[in-house]
Structure 1
Amino acid sequence: MIPARNGCRDVHLLVFGGMKTAPAEAGLARLHERCRVCGAANLVPYLDLGVTPLANSYLTRQQLPETEPAAELALQICAACGLSQLTRVVDRDLMFRNYLYVSSTTRTFRDHCAELAATAMSVAGAAAGDWALDIASNDGLLLSCFRDLGMRVFGVDPARNLAAEATVRGIPTVPEYWSRTVAQAATDAHGRPRVVTATNVLAHVDDLHEFTDAVKIALAPRGVLVVEVPYLLDFIKQNEFDTVYHEHLSYFGVQPLSELMRRHGLALFDVERFPEIHGGTIRVFVSRSESAPARTCGISPISSHGCDRKTAASGPTGRAPRATR
């Protein structure tokens, strides 16, 4: 038994078989049956949190008498490539069009973004006057750090409330989901960015191939994509079941990320780990395969401690806990 965290009640971890799940609320979520990286159908269930309300979607006073939207919240892992992913996909407009999480809230993340901007510019060889594009740019925090370093900036975020707020603050932001169409429009208007960032968004994306293909459309020939995602190994080692929610469709290790990029002519050339960010985060650096630099010092140490399919499917630290308040 482990203590409940953040008020979680009756959380069950069930390994491989015997998983009891309730059907998703009609029309709210659809069943996810093929790996979104490799397309394999052999998805092994390993964590069931039951039927759960949507996170970051609080009811108004007028909505309190109504039934709160809820859907199955359970994890499965691809036996082929190792990507962990939810069993259900909720309509993205319900989660992202009016978004309540604001990046600038914490000092820790503000400092992290300032460091990220400086590092990304250095790795990409970017200079003042070059373009930086942030996908899912939220309130424009990261782009403001690039702007402070002299770069021109442009954001894309589906949350209409946050896109409007960022634009008022001088961070031009398009209130749309990242796609091939948006990528082409952005490059037509601004040219190809030398730096593209995607922090805490890739895990939210259902169609990873549309997303990655759009990055390739936008990225300058010698540009660098910087992606940050919560790290699957930290999730498992720290029993972070309370970080599972409907927005987080995928839970990444290095290998599935590398395979995703490879399928789109991109190369993952370095990895950094940040244990203090969002329960454990990895930052990966990506470029076009033909122009990938030789900076690979971070890949081997992290990959050698990576999470293989057997480890993930055995659950956090190999235990099957029941947490109660």
Structure 2
Amino acid sequence: MSCRLCGSSRLRSVLDLGATPPCELFLTADALDRPEVTYPLHLRLCEDCLLLQIPALILPEETFVDYAYYSSFSDSWVEHARTFVDAAIQRLGLDESSSVVEVASNDGYLLQHVVSAGIPCLGIEPSVNVGEAARERGVPTLTTFLDEAVAEQVRAERGPASLVVANNVYAHVPDLLGFTRALRTLTADDGWVSIEVHHALNLVALGQFDTVYHEHFQYYTVLSISRALATAGLTVVDVDLLSTHGGSIRVWAQPSQIAGPPTQAVVDALAQEEQAGLHTVEGYLDLEPRSQAVRQELLRFLLDAKADGLRVVGYGAPGKGNTLLNYCGIRSDLLEYTVDRNPYKHGRFTPGTRIPIHAPERIAADRPDVVLVLPWNLETEIAEQLAHVHEWGGQIVVPLPTVHRAGTRTEVLS
């Protein structure tokens, strides 16, 4: 394995999560007696350019053609997208003469707001099923993976884009350099690129090991994403620190020939990363012990709940939840089942751990003692959805950054 950004062979192990199946390959009942293929999940750091990355063992074509994740099932994420669109229109002066392209546009959760504003747009989405959902919303969607040839075709047919949006996809591309060149091809010479990714600062500082899974090939700091974008002539000029996904960054980049100096927000974010030690190799070496501590704390809580005769179920079946379940070795003896708002997952089982997945209504019917929130990054939204659990004295428990009751950061001991 060599670094997919700089080509260096100096890759340092910083987190070994063992071997797990792909996190979105949910099992049907008739698959339970068949074997599952697992792949190493091993995070490494390039000692030269400081890009965090895993080997590309599962290609996007194996994951995203028929995809289980629909963005619109999260109300807060749709609202996050609406707020972004409204702000981008004001910031960039977008109107009916502009053009917006979103890469990995999923089910139209974001571009539906662009359509409503009367701004021409296009989604580029490889998954057939979620792309069709976007078209049903009235969002023009091209079903394909973005590469340099597709970018050239889109630019030739539609012209350059005033704004190219790439939310939570820049981690999903094994051909990092080619994908970055494709982003530049889509963008007008005076246009903008906006990219949101999980911030590796939070991954390392808080032991957020469950954000590592096979769909995510690399993990970014402001420093490393700036280096990646620079390979295609894009310069980061601003950054927003976001609370989404347990802590994300939204970088704003422009073609280097017209980009101005970085804002104070960029300077401050780089300083924060440097202070956390993430501009040297040594700053990443605490990730594994922190992750092990989170695992041990969660297992102690679940084992104590089992010993006390408490009934524990889950809420959500996200990709990150499957990393958590597999790394911790949690199965249906400790987590009886989980529920999810996505009907695609109902009647299926989590990969590897084979925990059954039901509709959310099952919780009210069963009245469990504890509901463990697997998409902990949506704590506030889900706590509101599960408020009725308190009616029978149930607990809503969140596993990260430490095991705590929803709405608090106090540790749950029993």
Q: TM-score range by the shorter chain?
A: 0.7 to 0.9
- Does residue 159 of structure 1 match 2:127? yes
Identify which range, 292-301 or 151-160, moves more after superposition: 292-301
Assess if the C-alpha contact under 8 Å between 2:202 and 2:247 holds in 1: yes
Output the CA distance in 2 between the equivalents of 1:294 and 1:121.
22
Q: Which amino acid aligns with 1:161?
A: N
Number of the residue aligned with 1:310: 281
Output the CA distance in 2 between the equivalents of 1:225 and 1:193.
9
Q: Which amino acid aligns with 1:297?
A: Q
Number of the residue aligned with 1:190: 158
Assess if the C-alpha contact under 8 Å between 2:15 and 2:287 holds in 1: no
Assess if the C-alpha contact under 8 Å between 1:47 and 1:76 holds in 2: yes
Output the CA distance in 1 between the equivalents of 2:207 and 2:177.
29
Post-superposition shift, 1:255?
1.1
Assess if the C-alpha contact under 8 Å between 1:123 and 1:224 holds in 2: no
Assess if the C-alpha contact under 8 Å between 1:267 and 1:286 holds in 2: yes
Matches within 5 A, 1:1-325: 33-274=1-242, 276-294=243-261, 296-306=263-273, 307-316=278-287, 319=290, 321-322=292-293, 323-324=295-296, 325=299
- Classify 1:125/1:37 alpha carbon distance in 2 versus 1 (closer, same or farther; 3 Å): farther
Post-superposition shift, 1:311?
4.4
Output the CA distance in 1 between the equivalents of 2:191 and 2:291.
44
Assess if the C-alpha contact under 8 Å between 2:239 and 2:266 holds in 1: yes
> Which segments of 5 or more consecutive residues in structure 2 lack a partner in the other structure?
300-414
Output the CA distance in 2 between the equivalents of 1:100 and 1:197.
22
Post-superposition shift, 1:149?
2.3
SS at match of 2:235: strand
Output the CA distance in 2 between the equivalents of 1:311 and 1:146.
43
| Structure with the bigger percentage of helix | 2
Output the CA distance in 1 between the equivalents of 2:134 and 2:96.
21
Aligned residues: 292
Assess if the C-alpha contact under 8 Å between 2:12 and 2:45 holds in 1: yes
Structure possessing the higher relative contact order (Cα contacts under 8 Å, 6 or more residues apart): 1
Output the CA distance in 1 between the equivalents of 2:59 and 2:290.
32
Name the TM-score, length of structure 2 as normaliser. 0.68
Name the TM-score, length of structure 1 as normaliser. 0.85
Deviations 1:266-291 (A, max 9, x none): 111011111x2011100000110111
- Classify 1:214/1:308 alpha carbon distance in 2 versus 1 (closer, same or farther; 3 Å): same
Post-superposition shift, 1:127?
2.1
SS at match of 1:204: coil
Deviations 1:64-86 (A, max 9, x none): 22212210011000101111001
Post-superposition shift, 1:190?
1.4
Number of the residue aligned with 1:17: none
Post-superposition shift, 1:201?
0.2
Assess if the C-alpha contact under 8 Å between 1:143 and 1:155 holds in 2: yes
- Classify 1:281/1:80 alpha carbon distance in 2 versus 1 (closer, same or farther; 3 Å): same
SS at match of 2:177: helix
Q: Aligned Cα RMSD in Å?
A: 1.7
Output the CA distance in 2 between the equivalents of 1:150 and 1:293.
29
SS at match of 2:264: coil
Post-superposition shift, 1:320?
6.8
- Classify 1:269/1:318 alpha carbon distance in 2 versus 1 (closer, same or farther; 3 Å): farther
Deviations 1:128-174 (A, max 9, x none): 33111000000011111222222111011111111111112211111
Output the CA distance in 1 between the equivalents of 2:157 and 2:240.
32
Assess if the C-alpha contact under 8 Å between 1:73 and 1:88 holds in 2: no
Q: Which amino acid aligns with 1:278?
A: H
Output the CA distance in 2 between the equivalents of 1:120 and 1:266.
19
Deviations 1:186-226 (A, max 9, x none): 11221111010000000011011111111111111111000
Q: Which amino acid aligns with 1:142?
A: L
